[in-house]
Chains A and B, each alone.
Chain A
């Protein structure tokens, strides 16, 4: 009886061990850097209503407000569709007209340091104004948006409750307020915990029993991700993004020219009256504007695009700045077969073809899919109750 028990115990142990890879200390350290989740976050000092309940409610209302577009046909949620992972599933965004870039999800957007594929926004509130004013997206204007908020009793009330005073006569101030309320709402859109997070936390506490629940294919893909793939050099930290910009060998021709990417983004940032160097920054100490003050144009910025965060990445197809890759398998193939000739010899030295075989590619996809939240942590959309001053 005792012998039988020992044999069964040994078999069970061998079976369990077969379900968890023997990660090296270096791999363990690299894996642990991708958590914990959710990552700590502090309200945005450049936005005095960041994190405020009234602002979140007002921002949610504005997010679904079609009249911010003079057409009445396009709202923020047209492209950032809640049930599509807060993006649109299209290769390129379609507002009043088709744009040149893919819609980025706003899930976890609060963890960004620059906003948009080109980083033209240095705050979430400034970035939130861009689609309103872009002729191809919502086609609005500062005056039109400000007039709407001042004249509509509900919106005017929401503004007053958020900022403690009715919308002023200065259109720019009202528009900045719109952006700040929209930002406050989007800051609440955070992904839930994923199978990877459970594995990562189990690894942190050496909970072997919990670790083995993580599929072996995902573990093998994770090993590639933090190891020979060197993916975590750019897809860094709990949000799997280093917040910076790179040319990863994706062609960037557009009709009649090329998408300048980060180079154009820096130009737009520097000329934007709503950037953090301007009068609408609520950060009295000015520390939030340091990055904006020191950003400088470099030739390498031409054709660079922002590193995307990877949480819920399986829900945000198609991929890359122009939506040119339809599936995660396509993305893995891109990095597996990337041509170093597309990259400058003294530029993106981190990138080289991974040369993954079929099984390794499938493992990497399995890992990326394991970054999908098990369940949304977002509350149901709030009912549109009348605003009480």
Chain B
């Protein structure tokens, strides 16, 4: 994939999508930007790209931020649907590296090679906790993200997020699952770091039976531009949960003011990643 064609393609798709949405506002179901999907090696045979893309379209997704272990996965999906797929580069060649990648020096040449050959919106989702963020491999990963102006998609605790910002104060970080932390702590982090965004993947504590939890509601209303939804297809079977998750998200988002709901559902993702892509 060539950088220029990638950017042009995405920009065209974004423009077309926004036009379509403007024309059908209120008439169709709420579009969803799914900010947390994986298409890893064990999914490729069970769900070939055409089938995987069909699932995303059936779910009513406008866009999906997808990474895979190894990287070939989301490249296949991107080739199939450049209007739909936004690729992220995951520092794992197989899902077995979740707990070892940050000590594995061979991850660096892998990242460098992929970044040389392809364009990405970010690096992640990676799992990184506490002081492990100071190890040489994550440090080099942050340098690469800085060099290529990519955001970081971190499945991390507060400590690791703080260390990442310390290494690169201007970093843009998408905090996966918002660290599985309490809404009060998430708000505190959002106040402290203007370049921090949150995905809500694999969480259900913010909404039950279509009603938004009061503490989370306060977070969404204080930071309507900083949240996104995501399914987290960490096993291949969970691709069949993407539609269910989109509908579940629409249900609880309907309990928020419309403008806030639209931002969390898809506008935040479009704005954040559209902006980043246009910088290239």
A binds B: yes
Q: Is B167 an interface residue (CB 8 A)?
A: no
- Contact flag A296-B209 (CB < 8 Å), given A257-B240, A302-B241, A302-B244: yes
Quote the shortest CB–CB distance from A295 to chain B (angstroms): 11
Q: Is A252 an interface residue (CB 8 A)?
A: yes
Contact residues of A: prevailing secondary structure = loop
Which A residues lie within 8 Å of B170 (CB)? none
Chain B: CB-nearest residue to A302: B241
Q: Is A344 an interface residue (CB 8 A)?
A: yes
Contact B95 A341 (CB under 8 A): yes
Quote the shortest CB–CB distance from A10 to chain B (angstroms): 51
Interface size on A, residues (CB 8 A): 22
Q: Is B232 an interface residue (CB 8 A)?
A: yes
Chain B: CB-nearest residue to A300: B202
Chain B: CB-nearest residue to A267: B244
Q: Is B119 an interface residue (CB 8 A)?
A: no
Q: Is A238 an interface residue (CB 8 A)?
A: no
Q: Is B143 an interface residue (CB 8 A)?
A: no
Chain B: CB-nearest residue to A270: B209
Contact A339 B241 (CB under 8 A): no
Chain A: CB-nearest residue to B55: A257
Quote the shortest CB–CB distance from A206 to chain B (angstroms): 44
Contact A299 B245 (CB under 8 A): yes
Which B residues lie within 8 Å of A298 (CB)? 204
Which B residues lie within 8 Å of A344 (CB)? 202, 232, 234
- Contact flag A299-B241 (CB < 8 Å), given A344-B232, A346-B177, A346-B180: yes
Interface size on B, residues (CB 8 A): 28
Contact B240 A296 (CB under 8 A): no
Contact B202 A296 (CB under 8 A): no
Which A residues lie within 8 Å of B94 (CB)? 341
Q: Is A342 an interface residue (CB 8 A)?
A: yes
Q: Is B184 an interface residue (CB 8 A)?
A: no
Quote the shortest CB–CB distance from B92 to chain A (angstroms): 9
Quote the shortest CB–CB distance from A152 to chain B (angstroms): 43
Q: Is A140 an interface residue (CB 8 A)?
A: no
Q: Is B96 an interface residue (CB 8 A)?
A: yes
Q: Is B237 an interface residue (CB 8 A)?
A: yes
Which B residues lie within 8 Å of A302 (CB)? 237-238, 241, 244
Checking B96, B202, B237 against A346 with a beta-carbon cut-off of 8 angstroms, the contacting residue is B202
Which A residues lie within 8 Å of B236 (CB)? 253
Quote the shortest CB–CB distance from B201 to chain A (angstroms): 8
Contact B238 A303 (CB under 8 A): yes
B-contact bits for A247-275, CB 8 A (1 contact / 0 none): 00001110001101001000000000000
B-contact bits for A234-253, CB 8 A (1 contact / 0 none): 00000000000000000111
Which B residues lie within 8 Å of A263 (CB)? 241, 244
Contact A297 B127 (CB under 8 A): no
Which B residues lie within 8 Å of A258 (CB)? 237-241
Q: Is B208 an interface residue (CB 8 A)?
A: yes
Which B residues lie within 8 Å of A299 (CB)? 202-204, 231-232, 241, 245
Report the Cα distance A345→B202, complex, angstroms.
Answer: 11
- Contact flag A297-B237 (CB < 8 Å), given A341-B98, A345-B127, A346-B177: no
**Most chain A Cβ neighbours within 10 Å, of B127, B203, B204:** B204
**Most chain A Cβ neighbours within 10 Å, of B94, B177, B237:** B237
Which A residues lie within 8 Å of B180 (CB)? 346
Quote the shortest CB–CB distance from B88 to chain A (angstroms): 17
Which A residues lie within 8 Å of B248 (CB)? 297
Q: Is B46 an interface residue (CB 8 A)?
A: yes
**Most chain B Cβ neighbours within 10 Å, of A339, A340, A345:** A345
Chain B residues numbered 222-242 whose CB sits less than 8 Å from any CB in chain A: 231-232, 234-241
Contact A297 B204 (CB under 8 A): yes
A342-B235, A345-B98 known, 7 other contacts, Cβ within 8 Å:
A253-B236, A258-B239, A258-B240, A263-B244, A339-B96, A345-B234, A346-B177
B residues with a Cβ closer than 8 A to A are: 46, 94-96, 98-99, 127, 155, 177, 180, 202-204, 208-209, 231-232, 234-241, 244-245, 248
24 A-B pairs in the complex with CB atoms less than 8 angstroms apart:
A253-B237, A257-B240, A258-B237, A258-B239, A260-B240, A260-B244, A263-B241, A263-B244, A297-B248, A299-B231, A299-B241, A302-B237, A302-B238, A303-B237, A303-B238, A339-B95, A340-B98, A340-B99, A342-B235, A344-B202, A345-B98, A345-B127, A346-B202, A347-B202
A residues with a Cβ closer than 8 A to B are: 251-253, 257-258, 260, 263, 296-300, 302-303, 339-342, 344-347
The 3 closest A-B pairs by CB, nearest first: A341-B95, A258-B237, A258-B240
